[in-house]
Amino acid sequence: MTAVAILGTGAYVPERIVSNDEAGAAAGVDDAWITRKTAIRERRWAAAGQATSDLATAAAGAALAAAGITAAQLSLIIVATSTPDRPQPPTAAYVQHNIGAVDAAAFDVNAVCSGSMYALAAAEAMVAGTGGHALVIGADVYSRILDPADRRTAVLFGDGAGALVVGPASRGPGIRNVKLHTFGELSGLIQVPAGGSRLPPGPQSVESGLHYFAMDGRGVRRFVEEHLPQLVKQFLHEAGVVPAEVRHFIPHQANGVMLDDLMTQLGLPGVTVHRTLTHYGNTGAASIPVTLDAAARQGALSRGDLVLMAGFGGGMAVGLALVQW
């Protein structure tokens, strides 16, 4: 089996900056309320003509440039998204065409906000077994599925895409371990009720607002508090790593206040926690690769540093990855 590493990162966020006052207007909340509850100050929303594949394509180009490879060298493209361009075909097929990756198989995964970690796990396993290079992309355009009057969701989300080029490690172990968990009994905490085979699209479902993203915020917070600390500790133990060895922590950018509370439970002494939510909000499956790219481009990651990534979201799904930079 080939050792696999992250060879390059890239990200893209739309140009339009949306303030808290604008995002919260229809929900009756202002900048002070949103900042106090979430630590988010602004987010980016896609332009009218932009779809998820457009954001993903831009992030892919940046990641390929950082890795120093061409699209023609890719054998695999995986797009993690819960806001695809269309129900069919996979958004990854559009990206494959857009970047000219003619030899790459392309497919989507949907594990909501944990999606990029699920995509990374699949890519790591496939590259380890067969070699080649894979492109992992997390991309979402949540601004299209939010109920602007729902203060529990409308103020949290932004649009964006982050990409990772995964390939054979030229030095060190690269990706040390990846672990995935799903708690299907809690799948009702986060959902878009209509638009699928259970409740097909129609005038009544649209009129009832069932195509909007819905979330039980308190239930999600309770899930994170009850499950994530223990899962992270178990994950590090299985990887043979003590918490003090972890230098960087890149969590899903769900809510800044919740992340502050989470850090007191994780027990990661001396770790640097990386955040992009202040300016980008929760970008769904894009949030971890966008934040990893920001840390890499700022020069915050040094060779040999242990980087822990933790995704959590609808399903309920958790994805953990440990990477030696």
Domain containing residue 226: 1-325
Closest CA to 6 of 147, 133, 160, 167: 167
Which pLDDT belongs to residue 173? 73
Q: Which residues contact 22 (CB under 8 A, 6 or more apart)?
A: none
Q: Which residues contact 105 (CB under 8 A, 6 or more apart)?
A: 75, 76, 77
Specify the number of domains making up the chain.
Answer: 1
| Whether residue 316 has a cis bond before it, omega within 30° of 0 | yes
Q: Are 45 and 55 in contact (CB under 8 A)?
A: no
What pTM was computed for the model? 0.96
Q: What is the DSSP letter of 109?
A: E
Give me the catalytic one of 113, 133, 177, 255: 113
Give me the catalytic one of 110, 177, 255, 282: 282
Which amino acid appears at position 318 of this protein? V
Torsion of CA 141, 147, 150, 155, to 10 degrees: 30
Which pLDDT belongs to residue 269? 93
| b/e map 83-103, b = 16+ CB within 10 Å | bbbeeeebbbbbbbebbebee
Name the band, by pLDDT with cuts 50, 70 and 90, for residue 176.
very high
Active site residue 252: yes
Measured CA to CA in angstroms, residue 232 lies from 77, 223, 309 at distances of: 28, 14, 10
171: pLDDT strictly greater than 80: no
Where do the DSSP E strands lie in 46-149? 74-80, 105-109, 133-141
Q: What is the DSSP letter of 93?
A: H
Active site residue 237: no
Return the number of other C-beta atoms located less than 10 Å from residue 49's C-beta: 6
| Whether residue 168 has a cis bond before it, omega within 30° of 0 | no
Q: ∠ at Cα 250 (240, 264), nearest 5°?
A: 80
Which pLDDT belongs to residue 170? 82
Which pLDDT belongs to residue 108? 98
Q: What whole-number distance in Å separates Cα of residue 93 and Cα of residue 108?
A: 9
Calculate mean pLDDT across residues 256-263: 94
The angle that helices 115-130 and 287-297 make with each other, rounded to 10 degrees, is 70
**CATH number for 290:** 3.40.47.10
Q: Which two tokens stand for residue 55?
A: 């954001």
The helix/strand/coil state of 313 is strand
Active site residue 279: no
Give me the catalytic one of 133, 252, 255, 274: 252
Q: What whole-number distance in Å separates Cα of residue 76 and Cα of residue 164?
A: 12
Percent of residues, the chain, with pLDDT higher than 70: 100
Per-residue pLDDT tens digits for 98-125: 999 999 999 999 999 999 999 999 999 9
Closest CA to 92 of 75, 80, 82, 102: 80
Per-residue pLDDT tens digits for 17-60: 999 999 999 999 999 999 999 999 999 999 999 999 999 999 99
287: pLDDT strictly greater than 90: yes
Q: Which two tokens stand for residue 124?
A: 């790591």
